[in-house]
Amino acid sequence: MNRNDQQAYDRGTSLFSPDGRIYQVEYAREAVSRGAASIGVRTTEGVVLVGQNRMISPLMEAESVEKLHKLDDHLGAASAGHVADARRLVDYARRVAQGDRLRYGETVDVETLAKQVTDLIQENTQTGGTRPFGASLLLGGVDNGGQPRLFATDPSGTPNEWKAVAIGGDQQTIQEYLEEHYAEDLTLDEGVSLALEALAESTDAEDLGPDTVSVTTVAVEGGYRTLSADEIESRLAELDTADE
C-alpha cells in the first residue's frame, strides 16, 4: 500500500485499512521504539527488571527519569515509550494492585494485572476520540503461590508472558542476545548479569552507569529490591572484565 493510500486510513483508531491493519496502533509502536530500552528476565528465584534512562542534562535527577516502579511488595513494572503515557499506565497498574490488596487482602497475580492493564489499552484502540497509548510495560512479580512471572504489554492491548524480553529502543538487538544466552535455571544474580550484558550489546560502555541504568529484582525471597548505585557500578564493571 503506498503512502497516499495509507494516509486514507491512518488517522483514527476506529478505522481498519483495506488490508486489515490499524495504523494508529502501529504508529504507537513506533513511539515505543523511540524511547530507551527496558529489559525483563525471569529466573528461578525471581524476576529482574532493568531500565535504561536517557539523561537530557547532567542537572537532571536520575530518579526522575526512572522507568522502574514498585507496584507492591512482590510486583514491579518497567516502561518504554512516550513517558507521559507510560506514567499513566503505571499509575493504573498500581491502583489495580492496591485495590486488590485492599479488597482481598492479597496482591493481584501478575497475569490478572497484565490483563487489566491491556483491557484499558485495547479500549483506547477501538473507541474514537482518543489515541492509543504510546507506551509498553513489563510487569514482573511473584504470584501468591511463589511463582515468578513476567508479562509485557504492547500498544494494541495484547498481554504476553515471557521468560526474557526487551521493549523500547534497540529491542531487536537486545532480544536476540537474550534468546541466545537465556537459560531456564538462571539464578537471580545471573539474571541481572544477563540483562546488563544484553543492554551492553546495544549501548556503548561509557554510556552505561548508575545514572543511566536502573536494576530492580522482585525475588521470591525478599520481594522488590532496587540495586544501589554502587551495586550497579560494580556489576557494570564486571561486564567490562568479562568482555575482555
- What residues between 184 and 213 interact with a second copy by CB under 8 A? none
Binding of residue 151 to a second copy (CB under 8 A):
yes
Q: Which of 106, 127, 187, 234 binds a second copy (CB under 8 A)?
A: 127
Cα-based angle 76, 68, 153 (whole degrees, multiple of 5): 65
26: Cα within 13 Å, side-chain hemisphere = 11
From the CB of 155, what's the least distance to a second copy, in Å? 9
Residue type, 66: E
The SS3 assignment for 148 reads: strand
Residue of 144, 147, 158, 187 interacting with a second copy (CB under 8 A) = 158
The contact mask relative to a second copy for 64-83 (x = CB under 8 A, - = no) is xx----------------xx
How many residues at the interface with a second copy, by CB under 8 A?
Answer: 75
119 — phi, psi (to 5°)?
Answer: -60, -45
Residue span binding a second copy (CB under 8 A) among the ranges 130-138, 198-206, 210-218, 225-233: 130-138
Q: Which of 49, 28, 91, 29 is nearest to 219 (CA)?
A: 49
- What is the rounded distance in angstroms from the CA atom of residue 122 to the CA atom of residue 125? 5
Assess 130 for contact with a second copy (CB under 8 A). yes
Site for a second copy in 38-67 (CB under 8 A): 57-61, 63-65
| Candidate list 44, 73, 87, 220; residue touching a second copy; CB under 8 A | 87
Q: How many CB atoms lie within 10 A of CB 112?
A: 15
Handedness of CA 193, 61, 63, 28 (dihedral sign): negative
* Of the residues 44, 156, 173, 226, which one makes contact with a second copy according to CB under 8 A: 156
